[in-house]
Chains A and B, each alone.
Chain A
Amino acid sequence: MTGENRTGARTARRTAPAPGSGLRAAGRGLLLFSSFLLGVVLLVFLLCSIALIPVGIGLFTTPWAIAAIRSHTGLRRDLAERWSGLRIPAPYQAEPGFGSGAAGRIRQVAWTLGDRATWRDALWLLTAPVVGGVVTLLPAALLLAPVWGVVYQFVWPSLAMAGGGTWFLFVPVGNQVHALVALPLTLWTIPVLARYGSALVDADARFAALLLGPDQRARLGHRVDLLQRTREDAVDTSAAELRRIERDLHDGAQARFVAVGMTLDTAEQLLDHDVQAARAMLKEARAASGKALSELRDLVRGIHPPILADRGLGDAVRTIALESPLRVEVDVDLPDARPPAPVEAAVYFGICEALANAAKHSEARGVWIDVGHADGVLRAVVTDDGRGGADPGRGGGIEGITRRLATFDGILALISPEGGPTVVTMEVPCALS
């Protein structure tokens, strides 16, 4: 969601007025205005449906009306993004299951009518023809003014004869010369339209955003939903992680130490009558304890690598780069301060995953890892020169990293066209300390 928001901000840059932009603005304005009129019809449809709920018909037509309204407002949101670069996120709450039958219908109607966004949509349908009407019709009016000036040359005598005004703007028109003098006075609208036409269309988009976008409450609601989801993910992941660690310890180091104990016991018993065999046993015990230690070391590395704890992200990433079979270029640009430890670990494991994927699947020769912190965002980019076509769905690695990053409001983007290169970008908002 965030990435898209930022894209919106980028495309919102105003472009210089181009020839024909005034014409385009006028066309768009007219199109919008006619859609407002359709909106009024839809609003009336909705209100009638609601009125008919007590007699039962409304139960069937209300969902239609709301669906129609939502697709109508959805179109306005799309146009706002396409024409004005203004992204308006849909504010509706996620629908729960309603069940079937009449009871389900009633629940559905009650739910949708209870959604504040429905009423904000309705308010927009009501106000758009008025507020939006002014700004959307203005470009067309500006375009038509000179046309009227030309037409006026021919119709002023009949207008005067019919007892209509003989004033064109502030010029009293008594003869054809007067009318011709009046004509240039209408031409000023053309440059104005060219300069401000698209601004007027944008103004309507901003008005639409006011009512069609999520309000503070909807935003908070979405935020709560997101936090709930990521929290559940985080709890699930850490529970699974603990189970894995428990299993590893149980099957690995613990079992080995039991074996060491037994071997030592045997050695003790052999000591009196077979020193040679006892010595062999002791050697075996030492080897087994070494193996257990090495397993513990691997386990610790998987939980929180000591080098990361000791030296931070920069040296930790340099270390995995050193151990990779690929040629890895590391560029870490972090000040002396460090990101919070959990964020650091999440990004570190993300980089490990991307690097491992590059080595395993991409047939890459080189990998470039860039880590930096700017504008309150920690950013890590892993680029490889492999064959691309990476599928984020395959293998749980990237998926798991994405979930882990989401706990910190972080995002992961995977760009991997066929033929490469593959670029994995991770961004986590965080402060350094």
Chain B
Amino acid sequence: MRVVLAEDLFLLRDGLVRMLEAFGFTIVAAVEDGAELERALLEHRPDVAIVDVRLPPTFTDEGIRAALRVRERVPRLPILVLSQYVEQIYASELLADGSGAIGYLLKERVTDSAQFVEAVRRIAEGGTVMDPEVIAKLLRRHRTDDPIAELTPREREVLSLMAEGRSNSAISKHLVITERAVAKHTANIFMKLDLPVSDDDNRRVRAVLAYLDRDRGADTPLPRPVARGEPARRTGGRRP
């Protein structure tokens, strides 16, 4: 499997190259900045690209922007974005085109090489992989009046793993339960959350993420209150 790697820190780049090669991947290019990444992706058309978010020259979100630009020209080019931190906004942007073959993981996930390599393979095959941290953040913000609250702890676990992009068999292995039990849980989840049932992992991830990410109560907008009263406190400096 041919890989293009973009990571500006030498130590990490070197480590990733060695790890991936040990697992039988071929590194066709290991680049250091956004412009090089774009060129390498268009030239090599790899089976999967592994991209650090922060790259020179801007050291902001160069990696994501370069990756998304390339995907506009080469749809469904599999890309795994690595980051020191995960943000909902980046996750939504990466998922926006809805075509799968996308991953978004915390950098530290590379320390579990077996799982990491498994994630890279899934993305290369067109799957979607989301970091558990993204899912955890999405789950955390839901309040008690949400249908999510009706899920059993086991169902919540299954939901998280589904949102990370795992298939039923992967979930059954992870939780050490039978695949039939997983299927039962997923059916329950989809019923409780009123989601369309789907066996396609990609579509399933998107449905679950969209559910978690949806604008809660957009159907019944809250009236915006009108301010009244004097400032209880107004302090600070003088305008020049």
Contact = CB atoms under 8 A, between A and B. Distances in A.
A309 B227 contact: no
Given A366-B222, A402-B235, A415 B89 contact: no
Contact of A297 (B84, B89, B222, B226): B84
Contacts of B222: 327, 365-366, 385
B57 interface: no
B236 A406 contact: yes
Nearest to A384: B225
Contacts of B141: 322-325
A222 B238 contact: yes
Contacts of A417: 228-229
B61 A311 contact: yes
Interface string B197-234: 00000000000000001011100001111111111111
Interface string A264-301: 00000000000000000000001001100110010011
Contacts of A1: 237-238
A410 interface: yes
Contacts of A391: 232
B89 A311 contact: yes
A5 interface: yes
Given A310-B60, A325-B143, A416 B232 contact: yes
Contact of B237 (A322, A383, A411): A411
B108 interface: yes
A429 to B, nearest CB: 6
Interface in A314-371: 315, 318-319, 322-325, 327, 329, 365-366, 368
A383 B234 contact: no
Interface in A68-117: none
A290 B229 contact: no
A410 B235 CA distance: 9
Contacts of A4: 234
A391 B89 CA distance: 33
Given A5-B239, A226-B237, A286 B111 contact: yes
Given A319-B88, A405-B236, A406-B237, A311 B60 contact: yes
Given A2-B238, A286-B111, A322-B141, A307 B231 contact: no
Contacts of A307: 85, 87, 89
A368 B222 CA distance: 10
A338 B146 CA distance: 37
Interface residues of A, number: 59
Nearest to B143: A325
Contacts of A429: 239-240
B112 interface: yes
Contact of B232 (A2, A365, A390, A402): A390
A415 B232 contact: yes
Contacts of A14: none
Nearest to B225: A421
B224 A383 contact: yes
Contact of B239 (A385, A409, A413): A409
A311 B61 CA distance: 8
Interface of A: 1-5, 222-223, 226, 230, 286, 289-290, 293-294, 297, 300-301, 306-307, 309-311, 315, 318-319, 322-325, 327, 329, 365-366, 368, 383-385, 390-392, 398, 402, 405-417, 420-421, 423, 429
Given A319-B87, A392-B232, A411-B235, 9 more contacts: A4-B234, A297-B85, A383-B225, A384-B225, A402-B235, A409-B240, A410-B236, A413-B231, A415-B227
19 contacts: A3-B231, A5-B238, A230-B237, A289-B108, A294-B108, A297-B84, A311-B60, A319-B89, A329-B224, A368-B224, A383-B225, A385-B222, A385-B224, A402-B235, A406-B237, A411-B237, A412-B233, A412-B234, A416-B229
